[in-house]
Amino acid sequence: MSNRTFTMIKPDAVKAGNIGNILQMINAAGFKIIAMKYTKISLDQAGKFYEVHKDRPFYGELTEFMSSGPIVAAILEKENAVADFRKLIGATNPAQAEEGTIRKLYAASVGENAVHGSDSDDNAKIEGDFFFSGLERF
Ligand code: ATP
Ligand code: MG
C-alpha cells in the first residue's frame, strides 16, 4: 500500500472560486501536500492524461473540459491515501456522492465534477510523475 495520491481541482471548481474551500477540506482530512501547482493543460496533454478513457463516449468532452481553464494539481500524502481520498471526494456522479464529500458540495454534474483522485497506487505514481519533477516535491 502506498501513502500517496494525486489530485486535480478541475476547471469548474477553479472557475467557481472553490480552490480554497477544497484545499481546506483536503487539509482537514489529514492529507499533507507534497507538491502543488496552478497550471493549465493543453488538449493533447489532457488526452494523454485520460488515455485510459480514449474509447469511452465522453472522452472528447472530458479532454476539452479538462483543458478549458486552469487547474490545481497536487500530490498528497496520508496513510491509505488513494482509498481515503476517493472517500473524501465521493462518487463520480455528484448526484450519487455521499453528503459531506467534495463532489456533493462542489460538483455540478458527472462531467464537471470539481476534483480528480487517482484510482490506484500505480496510477497515483504515473499521474504525479506527469505533472511534477523530483525538485518540485517536498
Ligand atoms: P477522476 O478520474 O476524474 O477522478 P473518476 O475516477 O471518479 O474521476 P472515471 O471513471 O475515471 O471517474 O472518469 C474520469 C472522468 O471522466 C470523470 O471524473 C468525469 O469527469 C468524466 N466522466 C466519467 N463518466 C462520464 C460520463 N458518463 N459522462 C461525462 N463525463 C464522464
Ligand atoms: Mg478515474
Domain count, the chain: 1
Q: Which domain holds residue 106?
A: 4-136
Ligand 1 neighbours (beta carbon < 6 A):
53, 58, 61-62, 92, 110-111, 113, 116-117, 119
Burial environment of residue 2 by CB neighbours within 10 A (0 to 12, 13 to 18, 19 or more)? middle
The confidence score (pLDDT) of residue 40 equals 98
Question: pLDDT per position in the chain (138 positions), as tens?
Answer: 689 999 999 999 999 999 999 999 999 999 999 999 999 999 999 999 999 999 999 999 999 999 999 999 999 999 999 999 999 999 999 999 999 999 999 999 999 999 999 999 999 999 999 999 999 999
Q: Which of 82, 116, 124, 128 is catalytic?
A: 116
Grid coordinates representing 98 are 455521499
CATH number, domain of 40, equals: 3.30.70.141
Edge-to-edge strands of the sheet including 32-39?
32-39, 71-77, 4-9, 115-117
Q: Look at residue 40 and give its three-state secondary structure.
A: coil
Nearest atom, ligand 1, residue 65 CA: 20
Among candidate residues 99, 63, 62, 72, the one with its CA nearest the CA of residue 7:
72
Contact call for residues 117 and 85 (beta carbons, < 8 A): yes
The confidence score (pLDDT) of residue 2 equals 81
The residue type of 99 is E
